[in-house]
């Protein structure tokens, strides 16, 4: 792989570490040609927002929707740049970040996870009632309607506990379902998945730096006590974010964010977004605006937010 890498506004120290990082990538068959960026063609642009030239290049590149990585101002952990580089990172860490940017992971799929979660991802948008069972527990999956049906409330925690087990069977619900009158408990698919993914967050693969955005507001009726789900929904409804930038912006634990993204991906409410969908902000959004948005959403769901910051 031969890459033309443009730079703008980098100090000599940053240029040296970047050059060393590019040298390290040669072992992975990634050969990088570094050039000072003046609007010329590049496969990737790296800018330092601390310099005037870097800020001007950043504005030009975002308008042209060019692949971009940013060294933010020192101490700026708020601005949700698509791809951030730590200005104090050693060359090896910069090399890893470049490799992830240049060789992004494939789209998440049912192959990345097992069990019920994988089934929900694979059957996303299915208009047919599906019977999903394991031994004597089971559920009816109505993916297009965003609902699940179980025989009893006590089945729900049993389903959650086995979310990632790979011994589930999935089939079309029989036309003459002998248990048709037993599926009495109806729950939101999203609420079920959010609870279950939060429970298994330590076992879920990381979604890292990929950008995601909600295509619709998720049904949070069954998780009204989960403030983190509400905050993440409000942000992802407005613009595209990665798990990494959400963690930096909100202070919410990365595992919790990753679990929420997997749950809403599996429910069909979340989708991958390209870089042009992210909301670039030169300055952090005013706290009052963010809080106002969250308060309005919270009132809609009858919640009380116990914090004063976004």
Tokens of 100: 């992830």
Task: Tell me the three state secondary structure of residue 14.
Answer: helix
pLDDT digit string (tens) for the chain, length 310 residues: 788 999 999 999 999 999 999 999 887 778 899 999 988 888 899 999 999 999 999 999 888 888 899 999 888 877 878 788 988 889 988 988 888 888 665 566 656 788 999 999 988 878 889 999 988 899 999 999 999 999 999 999 999 999 999 889 998 888 888 778 889 999 999 999 999 999 999 999 988 778 899 999 999 888 878 899 999 999 999 999 988 889 989 999 999 999 999 999 999 999 988 544 443 333 333 334 445 556 655 665 556 555 444 3
Q: For 42, list phi and psi in degrees, rounded to 5.
A: -145, 150
Torsion, CA 4, CA 7, CA 13, CA 16, rounded to 10: 10
Residue 17 near residue 94 (C-beta atoms within 8 A) = yes
CB 260 within 8 A of CB 228: yes
Give yes or no for a contact between 49 and 58, defined as CB atoms under 8 angstroms apart.
yes
């Amino acid at each position: 792989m031969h890459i033309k890498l443009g730079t703008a506004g980098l100090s000599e120290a940053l240029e040296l570490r970047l050059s060393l990082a590019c040298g390290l990538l040669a072992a992975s068959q990634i050969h990088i040609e570094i050039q000072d960026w003046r609007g010329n063609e590049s496969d990737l642009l790296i800018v330092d927002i601390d310099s005037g030239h870097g800020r001007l290049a950043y504005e030009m590149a975002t308008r042209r929707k060019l692949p971009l990585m940013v060294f933010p101002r020192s101490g700026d952990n708020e601005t949700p740049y698509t791809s951030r580089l730590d200005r104090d990172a050693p060359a090896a860490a910069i090399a890893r970040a470049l490799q992830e940017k240049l060789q992004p992971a494939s789209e998440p799929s049912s192959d990345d996870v097992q069990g019920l979660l994988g089934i929900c991802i694979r059957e996303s948008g299915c208009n047919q009632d599906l019977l999903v069972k394991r031994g004597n527990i089971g559920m009816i999956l109505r993916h297009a309607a965003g609902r699940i049906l179980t025989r009893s409330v006590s089945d729900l925690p049993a389903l959650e506990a086995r979310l990632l087990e790979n011994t589930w069977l999935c089939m079309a619900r029989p036309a003459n379902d002998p248990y048709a009158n037993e599926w009495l408990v109806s729950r939101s698919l999203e609420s079920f998945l959010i609870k279950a993914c939060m429970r298994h967050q330590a076992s879920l693969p990381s979604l890292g730096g990929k950008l995601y955005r909600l295509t619709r507001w998720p049904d949070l009726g069954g998780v009204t006590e989960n403030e983190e789900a509400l905050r993440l929904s409000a942000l992802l409804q407005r613009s595209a974010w990665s798990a990494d930038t959400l963690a930096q912006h909100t202070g919410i634990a990365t595992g919790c964010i990753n679990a929420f993204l997997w749950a809403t991906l599996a429910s069909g409410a979340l989708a991958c977004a390209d870089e042009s969908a992210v909301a670039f902000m030169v300055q952090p959004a005013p706290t009052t605006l963010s809080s106002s948005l969250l308060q309005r959403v919270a009132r809609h769901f009858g919640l009380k937010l116990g914090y004063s910051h976004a």
